A and B are shown apart, each in its own frame.
Chain A
């Protein structure tokens, strides 16, 4: 009896909102937001359901915001032209809890790859227009998010620089030999 009660309590499902809040909290640019602040962001995001075979966005289209995967699987596909042949390369496969496209919150550069749903997929979308609006209405929260985006960009830049330095060093050694 006791174990049954315990098990049923343990199995209690989270509310819809709690699931989405947790998903937001796991995104790097929202990680240091308070519960109240996350709720503010939740009011701004769009919940969308995509069928198997749908594209969330396509390579070359203007980027407008980021997506957080609540459920399902997304392949990030890059199309490359080799001579007369178009070749699709799967860069990465993303699952529940993953997120994509957060750099599009800053500018409208074309997407560098397509996002393809390999099964029924549910996502939350957060977009640049709403971020700008948030900066206008709640500058502290908006600035926090923008600083987080800057931090993510900074980290990626450092990693890229490090890789570049290693490659240069390797190239130099090969030249010497």
Chain B
């Protein structure tokens, strides 16, 4: 008996150690899989209504799902074919800006001379041009590396995205079979409760995520319209308006910080192109984004996203930090939607499970 107990204890200890070691080894690889699955679920939630709409027209579900996925692929292909040249042009312009050292130095030097002539003492040192030279040299050397890294990131994103589309297709096609498979694992005692809670969670998440997506899209479109108007009326020469709008839409997923991040590329674009009334144009651009933000906070998000999934600002910041640590910028963008999912899930469980007690 004593020997048996001892053996059992040792067996359990060994098993625990093996499992722990296995988990630790697997976790880094799991992270990629988890990321792909999470994004696939988000995509599935956004696209499911479209597949349902197609199914209304007597199109079989598998075919409906395939059509929707193909449309997404076409949109992505079109987007990439249009955006990549823009990014390349932007990079070239940045390089050219750095290469015009003399002009930049002359401007800075003339500014310093002007200030020195107005001040009683030489308050500003004369080695600023040298520091600017150092900065431009550093950027010249590092820029190719940065672009190379971005290229690799793009390739990785593409392969990951292919997996996302593949998994999303099967989620769309076999939605009910997957749901049945999950429910089959539930014991009878919790069967109806699990089914009810699962339905509620799914419904809430659908409206929440679709609302988020529409809000981001609205911000993007409104930004594009605003910048286009500024360009047209004031001949501002802002470049890459569509690209900036798309970025603003995505950035809007990050509360509080996102709107500011969305405006920065537009301001930089103005500063680089140096239109006649630079200061005025910058103010107008800031005004456009402030107005977009006002629209979003006052009308768009309250209507589309609702408050049932509103997150406390402190939680938002913590979640953004976690997301940023795990997956950088992409993590920050997805952090709030994921936090919303978690809140809805546990909220529904906590609200509805007690109704099935005793």
Complex partner residue of B195 from A54, A56, A127, A138, CB under 8 angstroms: A127
B176 within 8 A of A: yes
New A-B contacts (12) at CB < 8 Å, excluding given A49-B188, A54-B189: A46-B195, A48-B188, A61-B192, A61-B355, A62-B355, A62-B356, A64-B192, A64-B196, A65-B192, A129-B195, A129-B199, A137-B56
Interface of A is mostly: mixed
Distance in angstroms between the alpha carbons of A130 and B202 in the assembled complex: 12
Closest partner residue, chain B, to A117 (CB atom): B188
Residue B101 interfacial (CB < 8 Å): no
**In the assembled complex, B217 has its CB within 8 A of some CB on chain A:** no
Confirm or deny: B191 has a beta carbon within 8 angstroms of a beta carbon on chain A. yes
A49 to B196, CA, bound (A): 19
CB nearest to B55 among chain A residues = A137
* Any A CB within 8 A of the CB of B37: no
Q: Is the interface of B mostly helix, strand, loop or mixed?
A: helix
* B349 to A: closest C-beta gap in Å: 14
A residues 43-70 near B (Cβ < 8 Å) are 43-44, 46, 48-50, 54, 56-58, 60-62, 64-65
Assess the A61–B356 pair: CB atoms within 8 A.
yes
Task: Evaluate whether A54 and B352 lie within 8 angstroms (CB atoms) in the complex, with A64-B195, A129-B199, A136-B52 already known.
Answer: no
Interface residues of B in 172-211 (CB under 8 A from A): 176, 180, 183, 188-189, 191-193, 195-196, 198-199, 202-203
* Chain B residues positioned under 8 Å from A128 (CB to CB): 199
CB-defined interface of A127-153 with B at 8 Å, one 1/0 digit per residue?
111100100111100000000000000
- Among B51-102, those with CB < 8 Å from A are 52, 55-56, 61
Q: A57-B192, A61-B356, A64-B192 are in contact. Are A43 and B176 (CB under 8 A)?
A: yes
User: Across the interface, which residues of B come within 8 angstroms of A61, CB to CB?
Assistant: 192-193, 355-356
Per-position 1/0 for A22-51, Cβ under 8 A of B: 000000000000000000000110101110
In this complex, what residue of B is CB-closest to A49?
Answer: B188
The 7 A-B residue pairs with the shortest CB-CB distance in the complex, in nearest-first order: A129-B199, A137-B55, A64-B196, A137-B52, A61-B356, A64-B192, A62-B355
Q: Once bound together, how far apart are the Cα atoms of A133 and B206, in whole Å?
A: 13
Collect the chain A residues with CB atoms within 8 Å of residue B198's CB.
Answer: 129
Tell me the smallest distance from the CB of B301 to a CB of chain A, in Å: 25
* B199 lies within 8 A of A127 (CB): yes
Q: Which residues of B contact A43 (CB under 8 A)?
A: 176
Rounded to whole Å, the gap between the CB of A5 and the closest CB of chain B is: 40
**Complex: A64 Cα to B197 Cα, angstroms:** 10
Q: What would 16 A/B residue contacts be, using CB atoms closer than 8 Å? A: A43-B176, A46-B183, A46-B191, A46-B195, A54-B189, A57-B192, A58-B358, A60-B358, A61-B192, A61-B355, A62-B196, A62-B356, A125-B195, A127-B199, A128-B199, A133-B52
Contact B188 A62 (CB under 8 A): no
A44 neighbours in B (Cβ, 8 Å)? 176
